[in-house]
Amino acid sequence: MTANESLIDSLGPNAATLIEVRFKPLWEYIEAIRHLGQSFCQTTFGKNAVSDRAQLIIQEALENAVKYSQSGPKSDLEILISSQEDCIEITVGSKPTPEDLASLREELQWICSTDPQTAYLEAFKRAAENPEGSARLGLARMRFEGGVELSMVETGDGRIRLTARGAI
Amino acid sequence: MTTFSNITIPKVDSLSMTIEGETRLMIRGMIATREPNQNIGIYFRALHAEILASHVATFTVDVSELTFVNSSAIRLFIDWAMWLNQLPAAQRYRLTFVTSRHITWQVTNFSALRSLVGNVVFVEPKDGTAA
Helix (H) or strand (E) holding B123: strand B121-125
Judge whether residue A158 has pLDDT over 80: yes
A38 vs B: CB within 8 A: no
Band (B1; pLDDT cuts 50, 70, 90): low
Of B70, B78, B116, the CB nearest to A59: B70
State the pLDDT confidence band at B21, using cuts at 50, 70 and 90.
Answer: confident
- Going edge to edge, which strands form the sheet with A160-167? A17-23, A77-84, A87-94, A160-167, A149-154
Q: Indicate the DSSP class of residue A155.
A: -
Q: How many CA atoms lie within 13 A of A121 on its CB side?
A: 11
Residue pair A83/A89 in contact (Cβ under 8 Å)? The answer is yes
Query: Does the beta-carbon distance from B75 to A135 stay under 8 Å?
Result: yes
pLDDT of A15:
59
With H, G, I as helix, E, B as strand and everything else as coil, classify residue B58. strand
Cβ-Cβ contacts under 8 Å, A144 against chain B: 108
Distance to chain B for A56, nearest Cα, Å: 8
Record: contact B74-A121, CB cut-off 8 A: no
Contacts of A141 in chain B (CB under 8 A): 71, 74
Mean pLDDT of the A106-114 span: 94
The neighbouring-strand residues paired with A83 are A88
Check whether A87 has a pLDDT greater than 60.
Answer: yes
The model's confidence at residue A13, banded by pLDDT at 50, 70 and 90, is: low
Q: Which residues of B touch A53 (CB under 8 A)?
A: 104
Burial of residue A49, with CB atoms counted within 10 A of its CB: 0-12 exposed, 13-18 middle, 19 or more buried: exposed
Buried b (16+ CB within 10 A) or exposed e, B25-49: bbbebbbbbeebbebbbebbeebbe
Instruction: Please tell me if residue A144 touches chain B, with a CB cutoff of 8 Å.
Output: yes
> In the predicted model, what is the mean pLDDT of residues B38-48?
97
Say if B116 is an interface residue toward chain A (CB within 8 Å). yes
Q: Which residues of A touch B38 (CB under 8 A)?
A: none
Q: Where are the alpha helices (DSSP H) in chain B?
A: 40-54, 71-85, 104-117
Calculate what percentage of chain A has a pLDDT beyond 70. 90
Each residue of A79-113: b (16+ CB within 10 Å) or e?
bbbbbeeeebbbbbbbbbeeebbeebeebbeebbe
Contact indicator for B100, B110 with CB cutoff of 8 Å: no
So what's the pLDDT on residue A6? Answer: 52
Return the SS3 of B48: helix
Residue A89: its H or E element: strand A87-94
* Distance in Å from the first CA to the final CA of chain A: 19
Task: Identify the closest residue of chain A to B102 by CA–CA distance.
Answer: A49
Of all residues in chain B, the one with the smallest CA distance to A53 is B104
The overall average pLDDT reported for chain A is 88
Which strands sit side by side in the sheet containing B121-125, from one edge to the other? B15-20, B24-31, B58-69, B94-99, B121-125
Contact check, Cβ <8 Å, B112/A121: yes
Mean pLDDT, chain B, integer:
93
Query: For residue B25, what are the β-bridge partners?
Result: B19, B61
Q: What is the pLDDT of residue A1?
A: 44
What ipTM score was computed for the predicted complex, to two decimals? 0.90
CA angle B8, B9, B14 (to 5 degrees): 160
Query: Is residue A92 over pLDDT 70?
Result: yes
Condensed to tens digits (0 to 9), the pLDDT of residues B83-129 reads 999 999 999 999 999 999 999 999 999 999 999 999 999 999 997 55
Q: Please indicate whether residue A9 or residue B127 has the higher confidence score (pLDDT).
A: B127
Whether A23 has its CB under 8 Å from any CB of chain B: the answer is: no
Residue partners of A132: CB distance under 8 A and separation at least 6: none
pLDDT of residue B17 exceeding 70? yes
pLDDT tens digits, one per residue of A26-75:
999 999 999 999 999 999 888 888 999 999 999 999 999 999 988 887 78
Q: B28 at the A interface (CB within 8 A)?
A: no
Task: State how far residue B34 is from chain A, nearest Cα, in angstroms.
Answer: 8
